[in-house]
Amino acid sequence: MNLSKTAKYAIRVVSYMALKNQELYSASHLIQALDVSDKYLKRILTVLSNHHIIKSVQGRYGGFRLNKSTENIHLYEIINAVEDIDKYLGCVLGFAECSCETPCSLHHNWMPIRQEFTAFLENTSISEVLKNPEVLKF
């Protein structure tokens, strides 16, 4: 399963903030450190702030900081904040009317995979992403 670019950048920005462990990060610092376009990353930061994953601090010396401990920020929450996570969890063939009552031809094969993927996203915290910091390329 391949996540969207937006989901990947959202996970990267939260991971970067957790790994570097500064009190506040300016948007310009994050843009430069993560090599992401200004407008694109600012939109992601706004969405993450609106979902209380990070906090926006206003003022001359403002910036962004994590709003929770890394153990309490999970991949599911980050992805669901920046996009509709149902695109990863819906019908594998893309049918709107696919359910246990009216399944598509692949529904029963997809269900256990979808449940395992959902559990992975719900149970994987940013602290787990940071377990091997040497592989993170920021």
Query: Model pTM?
Result: 0.90
CA 78 to chain centre: 3
Give me the pLDDT at residue 61, please: 86
**Position 138 in a domain:** no
Give me the pLDDT at residue 55, please: 97
Q: Which of 6, 121, 124, 15 is nearest to 66 (CA)?
A: 15
Domain ranges, residue 71:
5-130
Question: What CATH code is carried by the domain that includes residue 39?
Answer: 1.10.10.10
- Structural domain count, the chain: 1
**Position 137 in a domain:** no
CA 135 to chain centre: 18
Give me the pLDDT at residue 17, please: 96
